Amino acid sequence: MLQRIQTIYLLLAAGISAGLIFVFHLWITNEGVNVYVKDDVLYLGLFLGSAVLSVVTIFMYKNRKSQFVMGRLNIILNFILLGFFVYQSLNVSGETAVSEKGIGMLLPIVSIVLLALANKAIKKDEELVKSVDRLR
């Protein structure tokens, strides 16, 4: 059913992964240039992949187990994205290109929290269905 709370969580995660990445910058270089996600193909692909995975997960409401697995895969994808950001910000190869971090680096963390809440709600629904099946 689409009117569940996990749908809202997944829509918010998709909105963050697909919409806010074009609003907030990732970092500012030493020259004062704002770097956005659209400037790097890898980050853009990972963010949009996370958004697509969230939307696909919403429409898998009839199969809650696969919906839960897709949510977990999306969380792993966001952790990989966060790892790339940490690597980029802690690059110790002498002169670094990152002088100031932007709020865009925190977007995967917000997405992870929303996806974890969605998975918690999916698991709660699955347990409810199992308990009803036991009463039959």
Has residue 77 been placed in a domain? Answer: yes
Has residue 92 been placed in a domain? Answer: yes
Has residue 132 been placed in a domain? Answer: no
Has residue 133 been placed in a domain? Answer: no
pLDDT tops 60 at residue 129: yes
Q: In Å, how far from its chain's centre is CA 33?
A: 26
Has residue 103 been placed in a domain? Answer: yes
Kindly report, residue by residue over 25-54, the tens digit of the pLDDT: 888 777 777 888 888 899 999 999 999 999
Q: Locate tokens 């680096």: which residue? A: 105
Q: Locate tokens 């400037």: which residue? A: 39
Kindly report, residue by residue over 69-118, the tens digit of the pLDDT: 999 999 999 999 999 888 887 775 545 555 667 788 889 999 999 999 99
Q: 50 or 136: which carries more pLDDT confidence?
A: 50
Has residue 131 been placed in a domain? Answer: no
pLDDT tops 90 at residue 10: yes
Residue ranges making up the domain that contains 10: 5-125
| Confidence (pLDDT) at 53 | 95
Q: 39 or 57: which carries more pLDDT confidence?
A: 57
| Domain count within the chain | 1
pTM, rounded to two decimals: 0.87
Continuous segment of H or E residues that includes residue 7: helix 5-18
